[in-house]
Amino acid sequence: MNPIACTPGIDRAHPPVILFAFERACARAEVAMERWRPSQTVTKQEQFILKRLEKKRKLFGFLRKLQKTRTGRAKLRERVRVEHRLPHLARRQGHRARYRGVRKNLFDLRRACAIQNFETIQRKAA
């Protein structure tokens, strides 16, 4: 674990995998705060960066709590198994909805999942 000091006086430890993205978000937020003056308004981009940073801090705090317990680490491993399969579906299906309406898109998602499962079974059998 590497400690990060983003806000003055606050040091937190985060997994090295997410470390680089968090440091970039921290740097962007600090630049946004340096440009901010009480007499000026904050731009929409700066507001967006600050909101994302706050969401990431909450997420990292939650993940840090999970890492400390045995059951939490087991939940994180389950999450990884599912999330490693999602890029395959995104590559097959695309990043946009193909149809109008939830029902048809849900059917399309299930079709893509079934095809992906068949290909996984075929690859493991060979």
Q: What's the pLDDT tens digit per position in 71-126?
A: 888 888 887 777 788 888 888 888 888 899 999 999 998 999 899 889 989 999 97
Whole-structure pTM value: 0.42
CA distance 7 to 27: 11
CA distance 92 to 115: 9
pLDDT above 90 coverage of the chain, percent: 13
Given a contact cutoff of 8 angstroms between Cβ atoms, the answer to whether 48 and 56 are in contact is no
CA distance 93 to 98: 8
CA distance 30 to 110: 43
Token pair listed for 14? 């985060």
Query: Which residue ranges make up each domain of the chain?
Result: 2-83, 86-125
